[in-house]
Chains A and B, each alone.
Chain A
Amino acid sequence: MNRFSRQFLVFVLIGFWCSPIVLAELPLGSKTFSLSGFGTLGGPYNFDDEAGFIRDISQPKGARGNGVDWAIDSRLGLQGTWKPREDFSSTLQLVSKYRYDGSYRPEVTWAFLKYAINPNVQVRAGRLGTDIYLQADSRDVGYAYLWVRPPVDYFGQLFNSYIDGLDLTATRGFGDGVLRGKLYAGQLHETLPGAKGSEYSLNGSTAVGGHLEYQHLHWLFRVGYAAVRLENEGSIEPLLNALRSTGVPQAVTLAQEMSSAGKHFDIFSAGVAYDNGPLQSQLMMSHLSSELAMSSNNTAGYLSIGYRIGPWTPYLVYSRIKSKDPQYTTGLPNSLPFEAINAGVAQAFSFNQVNQETFSLGVRYDFAQNADFKLQLDWIDSRDNPSILWVDPEPDWDGQAAVLSATFDFVF
């Protein structure tokens, strides 16, 4: 983040913090309109300057040595809701955060109309937050969770934060608990930063999925599934053309397997949360099954346990992600003129690998009823270099990093 934009963000955040009264009720005739917001100010200090630490794969540069990186976790959101009737409402949410292009341009993250067919069944249409994992749709609202940021090994690989489409939620009582099912479908719209300044547009890609949750007093059980179809070709098109032009059958087949257009991802997730008084715990698992050769299948999970003592909630998190070792062959001899093609393929595969675990220790301090302060220390062991979760690691990086983060979260 350059100095100007950092100062700008600080001023905006302080401004909002000091003037919640300004954002009071805005009467719109007899209709009901409300304006609220949330934000986080802070960030990580990566003790290691050999690799860039990112929060998720939408971030083009990471924290590496050189002071606190305010870009990674700071964000500001504003939400307006118009609710003219009990069964109908409309919501618009804008979020400013560090984007794939390095800017902080505010983006519409939610914009939907909601209609409750009855108190137990509702449909929403418009721009909707990605709900692939538990809490995936509120990753920007630091005040809503215990950690400084959602565990990177689990949430870091999520490539979109919203869909443009529809969702349907149905709820029914079941014993003492509540069973809730949700289905959604829509188009993706965001852009991801790639290696060496390239970008990948998700525009036109589609996502369809759903989940089932059962909540019983302290327990929450959840299973989910999502299918994503990629629309566009990536920046490695020239490499794929080079593979095809060799005419070697294995190389031609590999080019087909490495081409992203039309490829599917299946994402399965399951987890359980137990929340009883001062104790909060979650165990979540996910599995990505990919048709795209260089994004090999991976399995990820985390275990988080927190215990409140007065206004302090210390917590521990263990998280892990591992992608399957890629199996591929170009069928080309490693000599001129094919050396460059073989090297390019090897690089494309290695950029998308990930094999790491993180042990985190932190504390959330609720010093007010709408603001908290958090401090977290992560010990990360990345066994792949490069890795999809690190930006520009040095070739001789040992993959061990300690990251200390502090954030201030608020809602208004």
Chain B
Amino acid sequence: MCCSKLRRFLLCGFGNGFPKQAWVKIGGLLGLALSASLTAGADDLAVIVNPQSGVEQLTKAEVVNLFLGRQKKLPSGATALTVDLAGPNAEKQQFYTRLVNKQLAEINSYWARLYFSGQGSPPRQAEAVEEVLDIIENNKGAIGYIERAKVDPRVKIVYILTD
């Protein structure tokens, strides 16, 4: 586990080269808007687990309980290891917007309360899709999210978050 997890969690989004990131973001948004109009559901987010987790499907409430640290156990009984996709792309904001309609600052504030009262740590922060896939492939209890189109056979989809 990464040690300054909270710090990384809170600071992600900072310290990236501004101009490049901005252009990538604008490009990405345009791209998303275009592809959304062409193929519905192309920007769906897939909540994914390890195929050996014993979990077939989750409800939205279960995903909320896991990612907000209310439940630390998958329905199959394994200890959950939640993973955020916190790289320079917008998946993390998109995920929390669709899941609970919260800004990342609100999610950070929520975790600050739990973390500084010794109740738990925020999800592990992965920088890229490949890292999410890697963590899930190697941990039976891991649960994360990536764009649906990027899902591969190493992981299993248990919930789809649409726009």
Which A residues lie at the B interface, using CB under 8 A?
Answer: 20, 23-27, 32-36, 38, 77, 79, 81, 83, 86, 91, 93, 110, 112, 114, 116, 118-120, 124, 128-129, 131, 135, 137-138, 140-141, 143-145, 171, 173, 176-178, 180, 215-217, 276-278, 308, 311, 366, 368-370, 372, 411-412
Contact = CB atoms under 8 A, between A and B. Distances in A.
Scoring B4, B101, B103, B113 by chain A CB atoms within 10 A of each residue's CB, the highest score goes to B4
Contacts of A129: 117-118
A369 B105 contact: yes
A311 B105 contact: yes
A215 B109 contact: no
A370 B108 contact: yes
A178 B71 contact: yes
Contact of A308 (B14, B70, B103): B103
Nearest to A175: B61
B109 A143 contact: yes
Interface in B113-143: 113, 115-118, 121
Nearest to B110: A144
B34 interface: no
Nearest to B59: A176
A218 B102 CA distance: 12
Closest 9 CB pairs of A and B: A277-B101, A144-B113, A366-B105, A176-B61, A370-B10, A119-B73, A34-B3, A119-B72, A137-B117
14 contacts: A24-B4, A33-B3, A36-B115, A79-B116, A86-B79, A93-B118, A120-B72, A143-B108, A143-B112, A145-B113, A176-B61, A176-B62, A308-B103, A368-B105
A171 B120 CA distance: 13
A173 B115 CA distance: 22
B102 to A, nearest CB: 7
A250 B72 CA distance: 58
Given A276-B101, A277-B101, 15 more contacts: A27-B3, A93-B116, A110-B117, A112-B118, A119-B72, A128-B118, A171-B70, A176-B61, A176-B62, A215-B70, A217-B64, A277-B102, A366-B103, A369-B13, A412-B11
Contacts of A24: 4, 7
Contacts of A366: 103, 105-106, 109
A369 B108 contact: yes
B161 interface: no
Given A135-B113, A277-B102, A178 B70 contact: yes
A131 B117 CA distance: 9
Contacts of A178: 65, 70-71
B113 A141 contact: yes
B100 A277 contact: yes
Given A217-B64, A311-B103, A366-B103, A36 B4 contact: yes
B93 to A, nearest CB: 10
B151 interface: no
B124 to A, nearest CB: 12
A154 B32 CA distance: 48
A144 B106 contact: no
A286 to B, nearest CB: 19
B101 A278 contact: yes
A236 B162 CA distance: 66
Contacts of A143: 108-109, 112
B139 to A, nearest CB: 10
A381 B160 CA distance: 52
Contacts of B109: 143-145, 366, 372
Contacts of A114: 118
Nearest to A28: B3
Contacts of B64: 217
Nearest to B97: A277
A187 B161 CA distance: 47
Nearest to B14: A369
A77 B73 contact: no
B6 interface: yes
B40 interface: no
Contacts of B12: 369
Nearest to A367: B105
B72 A141 contact: no
A134 B161 CA distance: 31
B100 to A, nearest CB: 7
A144 B116 contact: yes
Nearest to B108: A369
Contacts of A36: 4, 6-7, 115-116
B116 A141 contact: yes
A110 B6 CA distance: 18
B38 interface: no
Contacts of A215: 65, 70
A297 B116 CA distance: 32
A412 B7 contact: yes
Contacts of A77: 116
Contact of B1 (A32, A180, A311): A32
Contact of A26 (B2, B3, B59, B71): B3
A372 B108 CA distance: 11
Contact of A171 (B5, B72, B104, B118): B72
A119 B108 contact: no
